[in-house]
Amino acid sequence: MRSACKPGSSRSTGASLRRWVLGIAAAMLLPFGTTIAGTGAPAAAAFDPAAFDFWVDSGMGPIKTRVLRAADGNTHRVVYALDGLRAQETLNGWELETDIPAALAGANINVVMPVGGQSSFYADWTAPSEFFGIPAGTGGNSGSGALNALSGGPGKSYRYQWETFLTENLRWALRDRLGFNPNRNGVFGLSMGGSAALALAAYHPDQFSFAGSFSGYLNNSAPGMREAIRTAMLEAGGYNVDSMAPPWSPQWFRMDPLVFAPNLISNQTRLWIAAASGRPTEADPPTIDTLNGMELEALALTNTRSFQARMDSLGGSNVVYSFPPYGIHAWNNWADEARRMIPDMSAHIG
């Protein structure tokens, strides 16, 4: 910011910065794994009787994954579908909200849908998620029910170890028990799952030859982003971002797609990077939720364009960018994007 400002402009600048940070926080509070009213999945979604539960032990205890086999019975082509910030403990959002798992299986791809991991960013955390230093399950000295709610639940009494689970425990269990190919898999996700998909591919190139990010927030170290993520994680389950990674530590920068972008180029990972315009489609009703979804997607688009600029500066040519002229931050947009992605992913896995 230049120093030659008009009198009173510092107050205006501060207010603008606060609005910007709050705007990003709002963008991360609402969309991750949620359904915008009126833009949910087709009636056939919510539970696929052809999918089955696949339990695997981990450092977090037994973790459920939903698996849908490829239509042709092959075991060579495998994709992991990652959920959003509000991931539930019952079903993965892709099965709960869309028919994309069936579309992938119909394209002769085995679908792996990890269940749970709310607010985890699918990362290995440095500590269990304590709420302002309150040990998990205690609720502090006040006995507050709200504090008890914030300090209990998955990742509170134990340390999240989702990267290890996906790249070690689950990977080899799928090979040993189902015969799935452990190499040259695909991975994609929305919002939190989008940045996590890129991180998994960046650090585990033998496992993932393809990664897709839909409406991702791909510069976690930008001004205001850490506090926006803090706010979002507190709202989505009461998780503490400091337990995930200390401020501006190597672990934090390791999670930032703009920082690890060179890995994606040197690994020659095929990428599908998408964000829509924020303009509603005919399927999006005139509601306040649609308005919120428009604003959220516009922010995701700005973030994704920044990642595109970073990749372009590095000479990255291994990326397909998708910027559809219509689409808000909602499951119908992500389902449409997944359908566009499937042929390209199919050609780069297995």
Least confident of 4-8, 190-194, 259-263: 4-8
Give the CA count within 13 Å in the CB-facing half-sphere of 42: 11
Please say if the pLDDT value at position 164 is more than 80.
Answer: yes
Please say if the pLDDT value at position 202 is more than 80.
Answer: yes
Nearest CA-CA partner of 293 in 284, 283, 282, 302: 284
Say how far apart CA 112 and CA 69 lie, in whole Å.
Answer: 9
Phi and psi torsions of 187, nearest 5°: -150, 135
Residue 153 lies in a domain: no
Q: What is the pLDDT of residue 134?
A: 54
Of 134 and 205, which is predicted with more confidence?
A: 205
Residue 147 lies in a domain: no
Residue 133 lies in a domain: no
Say how far apart CA 215 and CA 245 lie, in whole Å.
Answer: 23
Phi and psi torsions of 103, nearest 5°: -65, -40
- The DSSP call for residue 290 is H
Say how far apart CA 106 and CA 96 lie, in whole Å.
Answer: 18
Q: Could you tell me what percent of the chain has a pLDDT over 90?
A: 67
DSSP string, 31-43: STT---TT----T
> Where does the pLDDT of residue 60 fall: very low under 50, low under 70, confident under 90, or very high at 90 and above?
very high
pLDDT digits (tens, 9 = 90+) for 149-163: 555 789 999 999 999
Please say if the pLDDT value at position 240 is more than 60.
Answer: yes
> Where does the pLDDT of residue 252 fall: very low under 50, low under 70, confident under 90, or very high at 90 and above?
very high
Q: Please list the active-site residues.
A: 191, 297, 329
CATH label of the domain that carries residue 57: 3.40.50.1820
Give the position of tokens 């006040």: 142
DSSP string, 38-90: T----TT-S--TT-EEEEE--TTS-EEEEEE--TT--SS-EEEEE--TT--SS
Bridge partners, 129 (sequence order): none
pLDDT digits (tens, 9 = 90+) for 1-33: 333 333 333 333 344 444 444 444 444 444 443
Q: What is the pLDDT of residue 9?
A: 35
- Using an 8 Å Cβ cutoff, are 348 and 209 in contact? yes
Residue 3 lies in a domain: no
Of 48 and 108, which is predicted with more confidence?
A: 108
Say how far apart CA 198 and CA 203 lie, in whole Å.
Answer: 9
Q: What is the pLDDT of residue 78?
A: 98
pTM of this structure = 0.85
Say how far apart CA 330 and CA 35 lie, in whole Å.
Answer: 6
Task: Tell me the average pLDDT across 170-182.
Answer: 98
- Give the three-state DSSP class for 91: coil
Q: What is the pLDDT of residue 132?
A: 57
Give just the sign of the alpha carbon dihedral 129, 88, 92, 213: negative
Residue-range definition of the domain harbouring residue 237: 9-125+160-346
Q: What is the pLDDT of residue 133?
A: 53
- Give the three-state DSSP class for 196: helix
Residue 96 lies in a domain: yes
Please say if the pLDDT value at position 257 is more than 70.
Answer: yes
- Give the three-state DSSP class for 165: helix
Residue 172 lies in a domain: yes
CA angle, residues 334, 339, 342, in degrees to nearest 5:
120
Token pair recorded at residue 218: 């791909």
Say how far apart CA 165 and CA 187 lie, in whole Å.
Answer: 14
Residue 145 lies in a domain: no
| Strongest mean pLDDT among 53-67, 119-133, 297-311, 317-331 | 53-67
Total structural domains within the chain: 1
Residue 15 lies in a domain: yes
Q: What is the pLDDT of residue 45?
A: 57
Q: What is the pLDDT of residue 302?
A: 85
Please say if the pLDDT value at position 289 is more than 90.
Answer: no
Nearest CA-CA partner of 129 in 249, 253, 240, 19: 240
Please say if the pLDDT value at position 42 is more than 90.
Answer: no
Of 217 and 40, which is predicted with more confidence?
A: 217
Q: Could you tell me what percent of the chain has a pLDDT over 70?
A: 81
Please say if the pLDDT value at position 215 is more than 70.
Answer: yes
Task: Tell me the average pLDDT across 47-68.
Answer: 96
